[in-house]
Amino acid sequence: MSAFTWPPEGVPGAGGSASQGREIPAAVLVPLFLDEGSEPHLVLTRRRADLRRHAGEISFPGGRRDGEDTSLMETALREAEEEIGLAREQASMIGELPATSTFATNYVIHPFVARIPAGTAWRLSPREVDAVLELRLEEVRAGRTTAQLRRRGITFQTDAYVVDEHLIWGATARIIEHLLSRLRDGGPPSAPLSLE
């Protein structure tokens, strides 16, 4: 899949610096694959509806950094393996997107973009994941909108993406925005990420 490019110096941030202050470091994997027609797809998860936090929400596989993780990139790979059964050797790192903070839970999320093979057989964590979504990147881009949501008794307007019946918002929507911007603009010269 030579359509993906990454600078020769490697993946920035792979060493995984800890966040400043009281923010909790976390990482997600942003898996991309090309279908038979060379159309890019984005892989996301839908969390189980009975979870205490973020129930039913759509997100990337990921979570907080464990003490055994040598880097935040390793956190992203470990979490993807635990949540959707994506073997680490199937993920080819092609970049890192800007860190994204969560407002309610005080996490700082480091997204790592990886190329994966098409046709991966998913093995879902029965404790966390309800479904794996393979969405055409062009459909995601076209689904950009704003949505009115109500959480904890508060109604608010937020940027979101809607693909079919799937509503993607919050930190996941912000990560997608960074991804689409990087793919469109080529990103900063030191960190190009391209599907061309």
Query: Does residue 30 sit within a domain?
Result: yes
Per-residue model confidence (pLDDT) at position 103? 73
Tell me, yes or no, whether 72 lies in a domain. yes
What pLDDT was estimated at residue 47? Answer: 83
One digit per residue, the tens of pLDDT, for the chain of length 196 reads 333 333 323 333 343 333 345 889 999 999 999 999 889 999 999 987 565 665 568 999 999 999 999 999 999 999 999 999 999 999 999 999 999 998 777 899 999 999 999 999 999 998 889 999 999 999 999 999 888 777 667 777 888 999 998 999 889 999 999 999 988 765 543 344 554 4
Domain count, the chain: 1
Is 172 a member of any domain? no
What per-residue confidence (pLDDT) applies to 171?
A: 92
Domain that holds residue 120: 24-137
Residues 6+ apart with CB under 8 A from 65: 16, 25, 26, 27, 72, 75
Q: Does a structural domain hold residue 36?
A: yes
CB 72 within 8 A of CB 29: no
pLDDT score of 137: 95
pLDDT value at position 158?
Answer: 83
User: How confident is the model at residue 106, as a pLDDT?
Assistant: 85
Q: In 161-194, which positions are buried (b, 16+ CB within 10 angstroms) versus exposed (e)?
A: bbbeebbbbbbbbbbbbbbbebbeeebeeebbbe
The phi and psi torsions of 102 (rounded to 5 degrees) equal -100, 145
pLDDT at 52: 61
| CATH code (residue 61) | 3.90.79.10
- The whole-model pTM stands at 0.82
- With respect to residue 47, please indicate whether it lies within any of the assigned structural domains: yes
Domain assignment of residue 60, yes or no: yes
Q: Residue 150: inside a domain, yes or no?
A: no
34, part of any domain: yes
pLDDT at site 188: 45
Instruction: Give me the pLDDT at residue 56, please.
Output: 62
